[in-house]
Structure 1
């Protein structure tokens, strides 16, 4: 059951991260990004990769919270 619940969290988060990646980088060029006033010292691919994992982690947190709130009190207290 844990593997099933984990896939309920990870797979939708993966799809949302891919969508967010496309939407954000359709409007933002990674070479134009700055960190504390300095240009990023990373390639475009590096920025794409880090952004994808950041989006994926945030979407997993959101999905996990939804899964937690969908559980019955008996399941939570077990």
Structure 2
């Protein structure tokens, strides 16, 4: 279980760092709007929430990649 967590969480952590860097180099935290309301959080809190959202998304993608790589082939279909 620890190895699985390392294989999934470490690459997703690194990709989340890059994704957050790209995202917040384009968008200013003071200009973010959800629906019709402006976000009233300090920029550091927005960066933190954004990082964890990117990390969760990347971890899900990494877990799906691990799962698809470990599922055995289905050899019952002849074509």
Q: Give the 3-state SS of the residue equivalent to 2:13 in structure 1.
A: helix
Q: Which has the higher helix share?
A: 1
- Alpha-carbon RMSD: 1.3
Aligned residues: 73
- Provide the TM-score with structure 2 as the length reference: 0.86
4+ aligned runs moved over 4 Å, structure 1: none
- Listed as ranges, the gaps of 5+ residues in structure 1 are 74-78
Relative to the length of structure 1, the TM-score reads: 0.87
> Tell me, what secondary structure is at the counterpart of 1:41?
coil
Moved more, 35-44 or 51-60: 35-44
Distance 1:64 1:35 in 2: 28
Structure 2: where are the runs of 5+ without partners? Answer: 73-79
What CA distance in whole angstroms lies between the structure 2 residues aligned with 1:38 and 1:5?
Answer: 39
2:2 pairs with 1:3: yes
Give the Å deviation of 1:68.
0.4
- Return the offset for 1:37: 1.4
Q: Does 1:65 align with 2:67?
A: no
